[in-house]
Structure 1
Amino acid sequence: MMVNQKAHTGMPVVPNLEDFDKRSGGAFERLIFSHRKLVLFSCLFMTLVMGFFAAKLDVNASFERMIPVNNPYIQNYLQYKSELPGLGNTIRVVVSNKQGDIYDPEYLKTLEEVNDTLYLIPGIDRSWMRSLWMPIVRWREVTENGITGGAVMPSDYDGTESSIQSLKRNVDRAGLRGSLVASDESSSMIVAPLLDRNPNTGEPLDYGEFSQELENKIRSYESEKIGIHIVGFSKLVGDLIDGLQAVMLFFAVSVVIAALFVYLYTRCLRSTILLVSIAVIGVVWLLGLMQILGYSLDPYSILVPFLIFAIGLSHGTQKMNGVLQDIGRGTHKYVAARYTFRRLFLTGLTALLTNIVGFAVLAIIDIPVIRDLAITTSIGVFLLIFTKLILIPVSLSYIGVSKKAARIAIEKEKSDSQSSTWLGRVWAGLDKFTDRKFAIGAIFASVLITAISSVIMMDLKIGDLDPGAPELRPDSRYNLDNAYINENYGLSSDQFAVIMKTDPDGCRFYEPLKAMDKLAWQLRQTSGVQATDSLAERVRLMTSGMAEGSTKWFTISRDQAITNAAVDAAMISSPGVTNQDCSVTPLIAYLTDHKADTLTRVLNEVQGFAAENNTSQDAERPVEFLLAAGNAGIEAATNIEVRKGIVIMYFAVYGATALLCLLTFRSFGRAIRATVVAMVPLIMTTIICKALMVGLGIGLKVATLPVIAVGVGVGVDYALYLLGVQVAVQARGESLTVAYRRSLDFTGRVVALIGLTMAAGVVTWAWSPIKFQADMGILLTFMFLWNMIGALILIPALSHFLLNDSENLKPESGSVGASDSPGAADTSSQSHQKAVTQTSRMVVAD
């Protein structure tokens, strides 16, 4: 028979299924639970299908998807990309002689083999590949007869001493030390631009496969005598993809830790396995759908599967907690599942919709990889509506929880209510934050911490803060290779290219060349610039060479015939110095590094120069200096987009979150105040997180940008679950203290559990071989914990001033505590006991 007393949820205890009115509840609830087997079969079928497609998901990255393709600077690069060989996505292979210099027949033979092997790897743009063995690399010399030259590698090279001496002279005459030859002549470099697509398959170049080719075919030449050093975007991505195996291991560790924490909380093995399994199912659905929609998983979006798992686990644990408490009070498992669905579906749906919108607005940032992350994460969270809000309650209606676990949960709650356990004392301590004295103290401390963090975060840099590849550990093979190249080569691989655009043959005239020469001089005076290379500088050299090397002629001549001859000579000796019709001419600045400050200085210098010297198309000699090409120039444009997009993203994320919070709390006046209470901890967490990034030396860039949105997306769940119960209880006439205590009893434990579980899962990432994953692990650990602590402390403190008006509300008929005055609710042990034994029902349960 139905027990007349009401459970802590405000709903009747129904020990026998026959006593439950299956026609009760909303239409959607009845539809779901009337077709439970169909729901389970559909989810099983979906899991099998999505698992099949998930197994076929590619792991890759695209150079162009990492850059803001609609940025005007990047548009300039893409427009003239075919005419700017080597100024975008290139690979650099350095072959070193550990026991001597490059003028060793055995070394040169190995270098030739490496060169030929690299030449044949699919994806190499062979026409612009440069090395000592490529005829495109030429020398030039001024003689009494004018300028002569030829290929650096002698056409009759045969390994004899005389041919090696010829090579040595040609290297000197070509001025290759510091560029293609190391300053100490112990190694030489092969520079190979990459194609966007594999010419054999027509598919986008697979960087993971390409990197393996480099390891298997190029790195294999490494020996006691020969050293191989490889750098470039494709190799970096390849190393990150290789590191994904370790990432998957850490993901598995996170799942195990989550399962352990949930089990220690519930002490129910079967429901723990169910909860974790369904959380993993949500990830499988997402990966399968990504493959169907044509997405690939790249090293920068590896956060998405864990994020979906974590959000799913958070919502799932709330559902299981509700079922656990109902069964512990004697309710049948089927009825308990329906009660939980009835109470938490709307709040869970609102929280998930908030997550979807919060992540979707990341698409505002005009970087394809971020846009893909925004879309795929939003899709993944949408799938959780089915796996977490529907599948978990339906599954629990069949398996329920063990009687032992239910009994332990009730006993634990009773002991906590009497503050006889450490957790009970913690809950009692949190209750105090509803009092004015403690509320003022908590708010003051929060304001102080936020103010200090606001000052610190002003030093947050956009972009990289370290040389090499900050995504990898400083002692990684890639960064060691990069350090070797920087140490042994005078010109770094960080190239910032400015495009001079003129009319056809416009680069031959004095005015454009003089302007280019002036910009090159200004850049050489800029901190962080090692050297420059441009047509203007080569024209100076050629003009001097045609005048028997006289330094008086080391200039750009106003005599058009002389300048034409100098330009022709430069184009022959240095292919790529300008395009065929002399209308697109790059000026390359070699930077000491690609740190944010260096890029900003160079960018500002070029922008200022272009504003003063660009002329209109109506001018006699129109000239435009356009940004930007080269890996450093492209990164500078990306930093601009991140800087611009982060502000828009904040407004969009917080605006969307605030709007959905307003819709959650129905009374307009109360909704505004409740939204403020929910949003303040989130904003505070973002500010402190940025200050933490400054302290850890982490820049804000493509790899770290999603972490901010994750903090908001996960943090709002905590606030909605806590406030949902609190506001509902207050609306029935209870005091703030009683309402908040019921919120703690009903959802607070799970909020604390999930915060600790997710933090414990991601903190292990700090030991990942991929540094940016380690950075994300540290930042996410902080955000999960701080969001949880902020919600548990600041929600009652802020509620004291913004939501402490229950005395002005008329309690609903039959609501508990209707006869208790607010003051009594704060002090009476009887009222306090009610707060424990009668936790609130959600608004949707009324």
Structure 2
Amino acid sequence: MKNATFKALAQVIDWILRHRVPVLAAIVGFTAVMGYLAAQIEVKTVFSDLLPRNHPYVEVNNQFKQTFGGSNMVSIMLEVEQGDVFNMTVLSKVRQITQELQKVEGVDTYQIASLASKKMKEVRASTEGIESRPLMWPGLPKDAAEIATLREAVLNNPLVYGPYVSIDMRATLITADFIDGAVDYVKAYRQIEEIAERAKGDGVLVRVVGEPILYGLVNHYLGETLQIFMITVGALVVLLLLITRTWHGTVLPLVTGVVSAIWALGAAKLMHFHLDPLVIVVAFLITAQAISNSVQLVSRFDDEVAAGASSAAAAARASLLNLFKPGMLAIVADAGCVLVVALTPIPMLEKISYIGTVWILSIMLSAMVLTPVLLSWCGVKKRYAHPINVQPLLHKVLGLCAALVTSKLRFAVVAVAGVAFVVSGIYAFKLKVGDANPGSPILWPDSTYNQDATAINHKFQGSDRMFVVVSGKKEGALKEPAVLEGMERFQKYMEAQPEVGGSISLADILPAVKRVVREGNARYQELGGSADENGELVYMFVSGADPGDMDRFADPQAKNGAVTLFFRDHQGETIRTAIARVKDYVANNKLEDAEFLLAGGLVGVLAAVNEVILAGQIESIAFALLVLVACCMFTYRSTVAGMFFMVPVLLSNTLTFSYMAWKGIGMNINTLPVVALGIGLGVDYSFYIVDGIREELHHHKDVGRAIAKSIATSGKGVLITALTLVTSVVLWSFSSLRLQADMGVLIAIWLFISAASALFLMPAMVYVFRPEFIVGSKRHPVEQAIQVEPAQAV
């Protein structure tokens, strides 16, 4: 740091400490205002925030979701332990659930389908003509004969047998879609769970899946999440108190974390943002950044006091003066890396990026100003809170670190890091974009939800849906034989993918109607030979139907239709394969009168999310690294500095990505924020260690001695922070939400790698490579330190 800049910084610090009372009052007042706003922030999940902006799949979904079904569909399966579903017990439960679903808030009553719904119909031919009538509406079968008739009608209806009654007839399905924007996941989850609970018993199992249920469960566990958060904070307090033995070493870092959190949440309220329960772990990660910076200042304060500082104010002044540059560099670099996340055009990630950036920038005041101000009142007399002294153990560990990196083993440290980087980098390519396992990655594999999903996918074609729109160039295009035959061929092509359990479209309905017209003769189960004949078959099907009965297959003008595909899982690889197959079919099978449009439904919008993340992942990492390099180059006025500090970042990323690949944690919308934050997290500790080496070299030219001193001082703060945060964050592994547990482990890994890199790799690299911006050279020698006298009033 230039001498003039050093003097100017000292003057600013003197002014802050001289006016510490009004400074503290201003911070307290501002915190009170932001606290009032933070208390009003909503904690909820908004599904539309998870969808990319201006993506063609999302646009197709939004255009046609009211007719062909959206991404908020709930599936309820009733399964009998003995016999089949054609008995009064099961059928009455089906009717009861169907009727009660109509009262669920936000449900689209026109999109409820079951054996007992009015829309589930059969087409019959008689001497009086063709009629279309409900299978089991408005009443239940009255006797065994009517139940047998119902069974026969189901077996002869391809729209029901398979999609809504399982092939073994031991399970039946009820589906309900919700109106996007009107669904309240918490209320929907509670109301449907109550409906399911009432239906259980009498030898009938009830299983429920769907995005409203999933995100309702996330909110259901919000109380547990907050409990784990508070327990984690409690563990953090205990560990800090155990290690530091002082109240100021325990309380001040926590005050810093709380203040920055209040300011960020208050700012989020001002920006009209809400807090998603799934990103609470991310909040802990940013809070850890604030705590880390404060611990460094407190640790340096204690060292200054031990060195004989004349007063607490003088010790606080010296601490901030010496740690200002690495602290500010860490804050600015972290904020820049988080802001890069906003480049991904997904509303939730954009909101996390803006809130996270404000949160991290607030550390400039909460840690770099508030902590020194509070330290200035702590006094210099040592007062220990308990008799347990772990400091000798810490000093021994740090001494071993220094001895290792200043010996010949420093070459081995660099070599091991290089091998770890290469091996983990290669293995990291196995990391999957999207969900890496069947079921929901948010919950544990043995959770009730994932078990229900497995059971439904085993009995039926699949609980996850994607619709591909067949858009005609004119009205009536869907009646053209070539278009219908193209839809039929497309369905057969897609059903060859093992994860696709089945499909349904207008091309399945018309052959069934033609068969009925021909007195049930299976030889005539085929499409009409002309547009007129197909038009007549459509008319026969809808003649006795209610308005909207055909909506899930085609619009009233027969211009746009849907091919709905049923998936047994929505893993990233499954979705990518399906989309690739759709594109391949479309490219090689052009229709003269229509075109295929991708893609709606849950699988369709997940495909959009995965594509955006896949395209934006490398871009975000590249931009984040660019931000890091720019910050380092500006701070140290050296291109080499930017490249030098990329080493721990790249190492922490490859090791963490390889762990994610090994444990089957996919790169999805929920894990991406933690990954982006990890870029900044991977280098923060190194800033303090390296700057400590540079600071010591201002007093002498012995690199080994400078490394040992930096590890003993700055390294102590690194070790304390890493021990406390890594140990406490492991508590997240007890969460009922697998996502939070996985994110907790990822944070712990990043903290550990970051600390290990700072204590071992970076000092070893300094000793081996002697970068000019740290140790100087003949052309650019290290400046000699100047003595800045403390202001009289401090």
Q: TM-score, normalised by structure 2?
A: 0.91
1:716/1:429 CA distance change after superposition, 3 Å:
closer
Kindly indicate whether the alpha-carbon contact (under 8 Å) linking 1:208 and 1:242 is maintained by their aligned counterparts in 2: yes
Report the Cα offset of residue 764 of structure 1: 1.7
1:469 equivalent in structure 2: 440
Letter in 1 for 2:188: F
Deviations 1:615-657 (A, max 9, x none): 6xxxxx4422111112122222221111111110110111111
Deviations 1:60-80 (A, max 9, x none): 112221122322222222222
1:189 equivalent in structure 2: 173
1:93 to 52, 61, 76: 76
Distance across 1 between alignment mates of 2:667 and 2:634: 32
Distance across 2 between alignment mates of 1:568 and 1:63: 38
Distance across 2 between alignment mates of 1:713 and 1:733: 31
Kindly indicate whether the alpha-carbon contact (under 8 Å) linking 2:467 and 2:563 is maintained by their aligned counterparts in 1: yes
Kindly indicate whether the alpha-carbon contact (under 8 Å) linking 1:154 and 1:167 is maintained by their aligned counterparts in 2: no
Of 393-402 and 708-717, more deviation after overlay is shown by 393-402
Kindly indicate whether the alpha-carbon contact (under 8 Å) linking 2:65 and 2:601 is maintained by their aligned counterparts in 1: no
Within the alignment, does 1:82 sit opposite 2:66 as a pair? yes
Q: Indicate the SS of the match to 1:701.
A: coil
2:428 equivalent in structure 1: 457
Of 26-35 and 774-783, more deviation after overlay is shown by 26-35
Letter in 2 for 1:734: K
Kindly indicate whether the alpha-carbon contact (under 8 Å) linking 2:510 and 2:527 is maintained by their aligned counterparts in 1: yes
Report the Cα offset of residue 544 of structure 1: 4.1
Report the Cα offset of residue 337 of structure 1: 1.6
2:733 to 762, 766, 779: 766
Report the Cα offset of residue 269 of structure 1: 1.9
1:752 to 719, 733, 746: 719
Distance across 1 between alignment mates of 2:702 and 2:560: 74
2:85 equivalent in structure 1: 102
1:63 equivalent in structure 2: 47
1:727 to 694, 698, 716: 694
Aligned runs of 1:313-328 on 2, under 5 Å? 313-328=291-306
1:202 equivalent in structure 2: none
Deviations 1:343-372 (A, max 9, x none): 223332221111111011011122222222
1:242 equivalent in structure 2: 220
2:467 to 479, 491, 497: 497
2:374 equivalent in structure 1: 395
Distance across 1 between alignment mates of 2:714 and 2:679: 19
1:605 equivalent in structure 2: 581
Distance across 2 between alignment mates of 1:251 and 1:75: 38
Of 290-299 and 149-158, more deviation after overlay is shown by 149-158
Deviations 1:109-165 (A, max 9, x none): 333332222211110011121122211111124668875431011445464444434
1:152 equivalent in structure 2: 135
Report the Cα offset of residue 90 of structure 1: 0.9
Distance across 2 between alignment mates of 1:279 and 1:680: 28
Within the alignment, does 1:339 sit opposite 2:339 as a pair? no
1:307 equivalent in structure 2: 285
Kindly indicate whether the alpha-carbon contact (under 8 Å) linking 2:394 and 2:716 is maintained by their aligned counterparts in 1: no
1:36 equivalent in structure 2: 20
Aligned runs of 1:129-208 on 2, under 5 Å? 129-141=112-124, 147-155=130-138, 157=140, 159-175=142-158, 176-198=160-182, 205-208=183-186
Deviations 1:224-243 (A, max 9, x none): 54433211001101111122
Distance across 2 between alignment mates of 1:814 and 1:773: 47
1:440/1:144 CA distance change after superposition, 3 Å:
farther
Distance across 1 between alignment mates of 2:266 and 2:171: 47
1:813/1:226 CA distance change after superposition, 3 Å:
closer
After TM superposition, which residue ranges in structure 1, 4 or more long, deviate above 6 angstroms?
143-146, 406-409
1:49 equivalent in structure 2: 33
Distance across 2 between alignment mates of 1:595 and 1:334: 58
Kindly indicate whether the alpha-carbon contact (under 8 Å) linking 2:247 and 2:385 is maintained by their aligned counterparts in 1: no
Distance across 2 between alignment mates of 1:370 and 1:97: 43
Deviations 1:774-816 (A, max 9, x none): 1112222111101111222221222221426546354545779
Kindly indicate whether the alpha-carbon contact (under 8 Å) linking 2:94 and 2:114 is maintained by their aligned counterparts in 1: no
Report the Cα offset of residue 517 of structure 1: 1.9
Distance across 2 between alignment mates of 1:74 and 1:814: 60
Distance across 2 between alignment mates of 1:683 and 1:777: 20
2:555 equivalent in structure 1: 579
Letter in 2 for 1:752: L
Deviations 1:69-116 (A, max 9, x none): 3222222222222332x2421112224455654333344333333222
Report the Cα offset of residue 686 of structure 1: 0.6
1:282 equivalent in structure 2: 260
1:729/1:144 CA distance change after superposition, 3 Å:
farther
Distance across 1 between alignment mates of 2:786 and 2:390: 25
Within the alignment, does 1:651 sit opposite 2:622 as a pair? yes
1:483 equivalent in structure 2: 454
1:260 to 227, 232, 238: 238
2:613 equivalent in structure 1: 642
Distance across 2 between alignment mates of 1:195 and 1:346: 52
Distance across 1 between alignment mates of 2:735 and 2:422: 33
Letter in 2 for 1:81: K
Kindly indicate whether the alpha-carbon contact (under 8 Å) linking 1:83 and 1:584 is maintained by their aligned counterparts in 2: no
Aligned runs of 1:788-807 on 2, under 5 Å? 788-799=755-766, 800-803=768-771, 805-806=775-776
Report the Cα offset of residue 193 of structure 1: 0.7
Aligned runs of 1:731-746 on 2, under 5 Å? 733-746=700-713
2:792 equivalent in structure 1: none
Kindly indicate whether the alpha-carbon contact (under 8 Å) linking 1:494 and 1:631 is maintained by their aligned counterparts in 2: yes
Report the Cα offset of residue 378 of structure 1: 1.0
Letter in 1 for 2:609: T
Percent identical pairs in the alignment equals 24
Question: Where does structure 1 lack aligned partners over 5 or more consecutive residues?
Answer: 1-8, 12-22, 199-204, 616-620, 817-839, 842-846
1:378 equivalent in structure 2: 357
Matched positions, count: 773
Letter in 2 for 1:118: L
Q: TM-score, normalised by structure 1?
A: 0.85
Deviations 1:365-394 (A, max 9, x none): 222222221121111112222211111111
